[in-house]
Structure 1
Amino acid sequence: MKIIEKTKLWFGLSLAIIAIGLVIILTSGLNFGIDFTGGTLMEIELHKSVPTEEIRTITDSVDKDMAINFLGEEKSIVQIKTKKDFNSDKRQEVFIKFKEKYNLKNEDLQKAEQFGATVGKEIRNKAIIATVIAAIGMLIYVSFRFELSYGIAAIIALIHDVLILICAYAVFRVPVDSPFVAAVLTVVGYSINDTIVVFDRIRENMKHAKKKDYANVANQSIKQTISRSINTSLTTLTAIVALYVLGVESIKDFTLPLIVGMAAGTYSSIFIASPTWVLLKNKSSI
């Protein structure tokens, strides 16, 4: 299995995908949700389960891009989110539409809140800080358990996965909101686990390898672990795909980029992290 010899191909594929995503981001931007931009959130008790399409007949008259979720055990509470800032009168106007159609009472309006852009900026900053802290922690852990070259290669692979995930959000126009943070941290954690498995095998094989024979050691290690990585990924992806197919709209917005991110994590563990480690070792041994 000649993985390392085709390093330029693997890097080129990743760069091409990331470049496409960055072009979309620069031209169209990311689809930031209410958590990051600010806006209005309302929760209304309908006392019964109602199809999303039926709710759309009401919300489209106010905002066609309004996000709709269902809460509660019976999914009888409709949660609507919009990036528009609705004052008290406007929120009451929206509730009256629901009140008249479903014969509701005033107390059925359980929540009506308006978020400013300042709150969204704070959430965005905390998301960046959380991701950076996680990356630094993993760099320290991998460097301590193995050595610095392994840690640097692992972080480059993680950056690759996060960029692919962000590009998925851009391409599929998935709202970037609070679940985005969870998706990033999930992908980062999953990817580092796969990468450590490969690195652990590389470390073991290095004990019996010739000096500076890094490419052959990496190829051998990937061959020994690739079936494990693929089988684990397929098992995980099967569960996530099931959630995407059977889940509600809000779940789909989370699972779609997660599918892309986990696929990228498996790819990077084999085709990005190990070749990067070989490049770093070859450079340091010159």
Structure 2
Amino acid sequence: MNSKQSPSSKWDFNFVKASKYFYTFSVILTLAGILSLAVFGLNYGVDFRSGSNVDIAVSKVVSKAEVQQVVNEANLDQEANITAGSDRVNIRFPEVLTDDQVQSLQSTFNSQIDANAAYEINTVDAEMAKELERNAMLAVAVASIAIVIYVTIRFEWRFALSAIVALLHDAFLVISVFSILRLEVNLTFIVAILTIIGFSINDTIVIFDRIRENLRFAKKQTYNDLGEIVNKSISQTMTRSLGTVFTVFIAAFALLILGSESIRMFSLAMVIGLLFGAYSSIFIASPLWLALRRKKKPSAVKTTT
């Protein structure tokens, strides 16, 4: 027996059936991410490894070749990762610069490129880098545990398990993309991951709340009935979910295109994470809850043919 589609639903689509394609895509990208992390790891910025990061505000356009020449003539005795833009230059050194090296770099840059340049130098030693890495991982773990506890109390453990799988899915896929493309991971990246988790759990809870509400009034003797409840619940919340994600996506994309170099990786992580989060709440979390609920009472919940 199948329950009828609610007239309030605006999206006539079988989300549960379509979820297998998104599961396949996620599994492929996850495996690629695991392989990339195992072989190459993450491209850590100066926040997570020892070294010095020199951020220079300039009054004219500066080329990467000009900056490299300054680094060579300053006799710093180490390679530098240089990013040059229209108004800012970023130079990252793998080892901590001494005061004499900093002075040499500044004087050479001022004399050859821009006498009005303003400098911001951030230095992280090896022990501090390890501590920052531990704290970042701890922050993500604590946030995930808190979410599990909250969803378990408000709903049930199946909702909680589905939600945390979707959240870890979003976070890990963003990490995988950054590893595969060798993009820099810094503290703003961790902020982006935590922000993505927040938006993702918000959309997931909205759908779960509607599923719980529809369960109170709909027949649910068969697996197909539960599937229709999930489809109807997603349909009823689709406009709100897509509206929220689209609004934040536009803001993050604008920051990616128009923002400064210092927040470029944050903006990129947000753009990627919002896309993953948009479909994980719909095609990962909800179908996973359905699969777990199917096993609740085999005698009562069975598939009809």
TM-score normalised to structure 2 length = 0.81
Q: Distance in 1 between matches of 2:47 and 2:297?
A: 48
Residue pair 2:43, 2:183 contacting (<8 A) in 1 also: yes
Cα distance, 1:152 vs structure 2: 1.0
Match of 1:81 in 2: 92
Q: Are 2:78 and 1:66 aligned?
A: no
For this pair of structures, how many residues does the alignment match? 276
Match of 1:97 in 2: 108
For the pair shown, which has the larger CA radius of gyration, 1 or 2? 2
Q: Pick from 116, 128, 131: which aligns with 1:119?
A: 128
Cα distance, 1:59 vs structure 2: 4.2
Q: Distance in 1 between matches of 2:16 and 2:193?
A: 27
Cα distance, 1:20 vs structure 2: 2.0
Match of 2:272 in 1: 260
Between 1:150-159 and 1:15-24, the stretch displaced more is 15-24
Q: Distance in 2 between matches of 1:103 and 1:21?
A: 42
Q: Pick from 160, 166, 184: which aligns with 1:151?
A: 160
Q: 2:52 is paired with a residue of what secondary structure?
A: strand
String of CA shifts for 1:254-273, please: whole Å, max 9, x gaps. Answer: 21121010111111000000
Match of 2:50 in 1: 38
* Structure that is richer in helix per residue: 1
Residue pair 1:30, 1:170 contacting (<8 A) in 2 also: yes
Q: 2:42 is paired with a residue of what secondary structure?
A: coil
Q: Are 2:285 and 1:276 aligned?
A: no
Paired AA for residue 23 in structure 1: L
Q: Pick from 15, 39, 60: which aligns with 1:50?
A: 60
Match of 1:142 in 2: 151
Match of 1:25 in 2: 37
RMSD: 2.5
Cα distance, 1:64 vs structure 2: 4.6
Cα distance, 1:226 vs structure 2: 1.6
Q: Distance in 1 between matches of 2:158 and 2:49?
A: 39
Cα distance, 1:80 vs structure 2: 4.0
Question: Unpaired segments of 5 or more residues in structure 2?
Answer: 1-12, 73-78, 299-305
Paired AA for residue 211 in structure 2: I
Q: 1:41 is paired with a residue of what secondary structure?
A: strand
Residue pair 2:82, 2:89 contacting (<8 A) in 1 also: no
Cα distance, 1:238 vs structure 2: 1.3
Q: Distance in 2 between matches of 1:50 and 1:133?
A: 45
Q: Distance in 2 between matches of 1:275 and 1:176?
A: 32
Cα distance, 1:137 vs structure 2: 0.9
Q: Distance in 2 between matches of 1:9 and 1:112?
A: 47
Q: Distance in 2 between matches of 1:186 and 1:8?
A: 27
Match of 2:5 in 1: none
Match of 1:190 in 2: 199
TM-score normalised to structure 1 length = 0.86
String of CA shifts for 1:232-285, please: whole Å, max 9, x gaps. Answer: 222221111111111222222221121010111111000000011011111222
Q: 1:284 is paired with a residue of what secondary structure?
A: coil
Q: Distance in 1 between matches of 2:180 and 2:275?
A: 16
Question: Unpaired segments of 5 or more residues in structure 1?
Answer: none
Distance 1:103 1:22, change over 3 A: closer
Q: 2:92 is paired with a residue of what secondary structure?
A: strand
Q: Distance in 2 between matches of 1:257 and 1:114?
A: 24
Q: Distance in 2 between matches of 1:27 and 1:4?
A: 35
Q: Pick from 212, 217, 225: which aligns with 2:229?
A: 217
Cα distance, 1:215 vs structure 2: 1.4
Between 1:134-143 and 1:59-68, the stretch displaced more is 59-68
Match of 1:199 in 2: 208
Q: Distance in 1 between matches of 2:144 and 2:122?
A: 34
